[in-house]
Amino acid sequence: MKLTVIGASAACPNPGDAGSSYLVTHDGSSLVLDCGPDSISKLRQHTRLRAIDAVLISHLHSDHTLDLVPFRYGLRYIPGARGPRVPLWMPPGGRAFLDQLGRVFALGAEANDPFFEGEFDISEYDPDAMLDIGPFSVSFLPTQHFIDCWAMRVRAGGRQLAYLADSAFIEPLIDFARDAAVVVCEATLPIKATSSPESSGHMTAAQAGEIAQRAGARHLVLTHVWEENDRDALAHEARSTFGGAITVATSGVEILV
């Protein structure tokens, strides 16, 4: 199984990067986890849009969903791209979210057609159940964020990847990531301790390192970062709590799981 970082920025894309999005591949099959702004142009550097077996969305914030719009346009209008609908797995409430978002863009001749459903086969996943997609098995865990959000654990080929989405530090994330070879964890906050309201839905690099260390992970990928927070400093902070390999994510980084 291979992880390719498509985008690793926080709420606004960093220069040359994109919003949260990750490509997971195994034996010719592929999943896209989240689809933040500017991610489609990056994703197309690695694969054709129609080659994606499924898209999974962790939560409904725009920095994880906004490029579903150009994804839809690409599936419809890229020369030679027409084909079967791409499965799109949304969190609970995601179908109504897409209906509302689609009404913003469905103008002119498209105004009377469902905006997303012509190109995507839309479902809402059950966070309490395992989701099987080709060689992948995906389980979910609710995180602590400002809206409902779910971490995802992806299993394929005897390997396991934990993508912890957006969250404050909570103990259940440790068991959820237990023995995953690679843990992809946000490091939005720049300091070891903060009283900011943002801390109730995000975490620091040191907290990400603690999760990976206690979970027994081999490799920690720090993501959802701001360009303004020095990457070397983020990695140094994570090393204070984690003894394995550390990568500060940016678009194009590839990691074997």
pLDDT at 113: 76
Query: Which three-class secondary structure string do you get for 81-140?
Result: CCCCCEEEEECCCHHHHHHHHHHHHCCHHHCCCCCCCCCEEEEECCCCCCEEECCEEEEE
Helix (H) or strand (E) holding 222: strand 219-223
pLDDT at 108: 63
Amino acid at 119: E
Torsion, CA 17, CA 160, CA 133, CA 101, rounded to 10: -30
pLDDT at 196: 63
Give the structural domain span for 94.
2-256
Over the stretch 13-65, which tens digit does the pLDDT of each residue have? 999 999 999 999 999 999 999 999 999 999 999 999 999 999 999 999 999 99
Which parts of the chain register pLDDT below 70? 108-112, 192-199
CATH number at residue 169: 3.60.15.10
Bridge partners (DSSP) of residue 56 are 33, 89
On whether the CB atoms of residues 238 and 246 are closer than 8 A, the answer is yes
pLDDT at 198: 63
Structural domain count, the chain: 1
DSSP state of 189: B
